[in-house]
Structure 1
Amino acid sequence: MRLFFRLCLFLCLISRPVSAQENPAVLYEINLQKYMMGTTVEIKAVHPDILEAKKGIYFAFKEIERIDKRLGYQGNGSDVARINDFAGKHPVKIGAETFRLLARAKAYAEKYQGDFDPTIGAIAELWGFNLNRPPSLPQDADLQQTLPLVNYRRLILSENDTTAFLTRKNMRLDLGGIAKGYAIDRAVEILRRNKVENFIIKAGGDMFVSGMKSATEKWQIGIRHPRAPGEIFAIMEIKDCAISTSGDYERFFMKDAVRYHHILDPKTGRPSRRCKSVSVLSETSAEATDVLSTTLFIKGIAEIRAAGTFKNYLILDETGNLHLDSTLVHRYKLRTLTKFPIGGN
C-alpha cells in the first residue's frame, strides 16, 4: 500500500496508471492530499489537463477547509464551538448553512431512533475521542452522570432567527458523524463546477466516486480488513456514488485485552459491540452514507434485518461474520478476498 494510505483510513483505493490504450485521449492521474477534519483528505482525479485538474482540486480543498472551520468541535470560527460554549445559557445566532445541517442532523436522529445523535459530544469528550489527548476508560459513575447530556431533542433550532440552543449546561454538539460527508458533497460540487468529472474524494472512512477511471474502466474500491492493517477484505467497482465505512479499528485503545473504540452508542455512552465494520453505498450523497454507516454500526445486524428498510450495506458483525445486500454483488461486482468469520479482539 502506498505511503499516503495511512493505516487509520477505513477505505483503500485500488488503482493503476491510466494507459493510452484504454483511452485514446491522454489522461493524467493527479493525486493530492491534505490533513484536515481530523484525518487525511485525499483527492485523486483523472483528467486531460493537469493544471485544470489541480485548480479544481485546490478549490475543493479550500471548501473543505472552510467547512471544517465552521463545523469543527473547537476553534474561534466554529459555530459548533460557540453553541457548546453557551449550552444551558442562551441561543446562539449561527449561519444559515450550519442551521440547515443541524436541522438535517436532528431529522436523522429522529429517523433512526436516536442511534445517531449530534449531541454525543459530552460522552465523546469524557472518553477523550474528540480531544487532543489520548483516549481513556471513564469511570462508570462519570458515564452515568454524563449520559443525560446526550439528547438530540434538547437541541432547539429557531428558524425565525437561525439560532441554536442546547438547553442543558455542559451539553456538547459533535458533528463527527455527518460533517465529513457533508464536506465531501460540497467538494464534489466544486470539482464538477470546475470541469473535473472523474475523481475520488476520500476523507477517513467517507468517499465519493465520480465518473470513470478510464473510458472502459470503473474505479475499484477496497474495504479495509478490520484486523489486518494494510489489507482489504472486499472489492467493488463503482461510479457516481458515495461509500462510507464505520469500523472499530480507526480510533481505539486496548485495555485488559478489550477494544474500546470511538463509535459510541448514544443510549449507553459506551462503544457499540454489535459490529466490527459497516460499509454503506448511496447514489445520493456522502452525508447520507456518513450518517448511515455509523447508525447501522450501532444498530447491529439483527435490528437492521428486522427493520427491512436498509439497503446497500456490507457488514462484519461482532463475531466476524459477513452480511451483505445482494445488490452489491449484482450491481457493483462485490467480491470478497478473505475467509469468514474474521476473528480477533
Structure 2
Amino acid sequence: MYSSTKHWLTLLGLAFILTGCAKPDPILSLSGSTMGTTYHIKVVDNGQLPESLLLQNQIDIELEAVNNQMSTYRPKSEISRFNQMPIGSLKVSKDLVTVLNEGLRLYEATDGALDISIGPLINLWGFGPDKRPTIIPTDDEIALVKQRSGIHNVQVEGLRLIKQSNDLYLDLSSIAKGFGVDKVAELLRKHGATSFLVEIGGEVRTQGIKPDDTPWRIAIEKPNGQGDIEKIIALGDHAVATSGDYRNYYEDAGKRLSHIIDPRTGKPIDHRLTSVTVIHDSTMTADGYATALLVLGTEQGLKIANEQKLAAMFIDKSDDGFVTHYSEAFKPYLTTITN
C-alpha cells in the first residue's frame, strides 16, 4: 500500500546473492515477471519436481491469482471490485481474507503505522494508480481524504468483506507481495522440495541448504541507491523483507517526498531512518512489519520490535554516512553475517 509507482509493487532495496558450486549441481533456476516487478527462484531438484516449463507455469498461475485478487491496478481484481462498490458486502477468496486479516492484525500491532485503508492518501500523493499530483496536497485536503482511511469501516465475516463506508478504499500492496512469495514456497513444498530460494521484487524466503552444504545467502543493500551491499546473511528456513525510502520518491521545491506515507499524519515520512529489514517465518508478515517500522522511525520502531521479539535491522542516514541499529532478536543473525 505504501510502495507504489506506476507498477503495483516495487523492489525495496533487497538484493540476493546466489553462489554456485564448483561443479554442476541439480539446482533449477526460474525467473519471470509479476506484480510490476520480477521473480527469481532457485530450487534443488529432488527428482519429484515437474519439468521446468510445467513448474514455471504452475508458479505463474499462483502469482496471477494473487494479482487477480489483490492488485489495485487491475480494475476487475477482487480488491478493486470491493473498492469500487458502495456500502454492502462481497464474497471473496480465502487468500484475500487471509491477507486482509493479517493487515488488520498488523494495524493493531504497530499502533496504526500499517494501515491497509490508506489507499486514498497514497493516490492523493501520486504514488498509486493515479498520477502524480500537479500541486502538493494541502492540510485541509489531507484531512478530508483521511476520513476515507478508516479501517473500522471494513469487517470480515467468513469469506465476505463488509464495506461500511462508500469512500473506503483498501490497498494490500504492503503485504501482498510477501504473500506471493509464501504461496510459491508452499507450491514448491507440495512437490516435495526441501531446499529453495524464492524472491519477488526483493522479498525473499529460503529453506534448506544448497547441494554443496552451504546456505542460501542474502545480501541486504546499503540504502545509497548505488547497489552497494550493507550485510550478507544466511536466513535458514525464514523470510526477509526490506522497506526503504531511497528509490521511490519525487522532489517538490527542492524537498524530497518519500512514497512511504505515515497513516497517522497523512504525509510522507520525514526522518533519518531510510531502511528497515525484518526477518520472520512469514514473508507476508516481514513485508508488512518492514513498512510499519520504517514509518515509525528508529526509536519507536526499535521499541516495538523488541517488545514483539521481531528480528529487525534499522539503517539511519547520518552526516557521515549511515548508522545501523539492531533489535535483540536480530543480533543472533549477526554471527552469520559477513561484510
Per the normalisation by structure 2, the TM-score is 0.86
Cα deviation, residue 155, structure 1:
1.3
Matching of residue 166 in structure 1 with residue 163 in structure 2: yes
Structure 1 residues 95, 241: CA separation in 2 closer, same or farther (over 3 Å shift)? same
Secondary structure class of the residue paired with 1:178: helix
Matching of residue 306 in structure 1 with residue 303 in structure 2: yes
**Is the CA contact 2:225–2:246 (under 8 Å) kept in the aligned structure 1?**
no
Deviation at 1:48, TM superposition (A): 6.3
- Deviation digits for residues 282-329 of structure 1 (CA, Å, limit 9, x no counterpart): 1x2111101111111111221134343143111113543210135545
Is contact 2:197–2:206 with CA below 8 Å preserved after alignment?
yes
Three-state SS of the structure 1 residue aligned to 2:83 is helix
Q: Please give the secondary structure, in 2, of the residue aligned with 1:207.
A: strand
Q: Does 1:19 align with 2:22?
A: yes
Verify: 1:277 aligned to 2:275, yes or no. Answer: yes
What secondary structure is seen at the aligned counterpart in 1 of 2:88? coil
The answer on 1:176 being equivalent to 2:173 is yes
Compared with structure 1, are the counterparts of its residues 210 and 332 closer, same or farther at alpha carbon in structure 2 (3 Å cutoff)?
farther
Looking at structure 1, the residues matched to 211 and 12 of structure 2 have their Cα atoms a distance apart, in angstroms, of 25
CA contact (8 A) 1:234 1:334 kept: no
Structure 2 equivalent of residue 323 of structure 1: 325
Secondary structure in structure 2 of the residue aligned to 1:27: coil
1:148 CA displacement:
1.7
Contact 2:233 2:333 in 1 (8 A): no
Identity, in percent, stands at 24
| Deviation per residue, 1:132-180 (Å, 9 max, x gap) | 6457663213222211211211112233xx3223322332100011111
What is the TM-score when the length of structure 1 is the normalising length? 0.84
Q: CA deviation at 1:47?
A: 2.9
State whether residues 224 and 230 of structure 1, in contact with CA within 8 Å, keep that contact through their aligned partners in structure 2.
yes
Deviating more after overlay: 126-135 vs 63-72: 126-135
Partner of 2:137: 139
Q: Deviation per CA, 1:257-287, whole angstroms, max 9, x where unpaired?
A: 33222221111112223420000001x2111
Between the aligned partners of 1:74 and 1:234, the Cα distance in structure 2 is 34
- Aligned AA for 1:333? T
Which deviates more from structure 2 when the two are superposed, residues 284-293 or residues 207-216? Answer: 207-216
Paired residues of 1:56 and 1:194 also in contact (CA < 8 A): no
Q: Would the alpha carbon gap of residues 100 and 51 (structure 1) be closer, same or farther in structure 2, given more than 3 Å must change? A: closer
RMSD (CA atoms)? 2.5
Counterpart mapping for 1:259-278 below 5 A: 259-274=256-271, 275-278=273-276
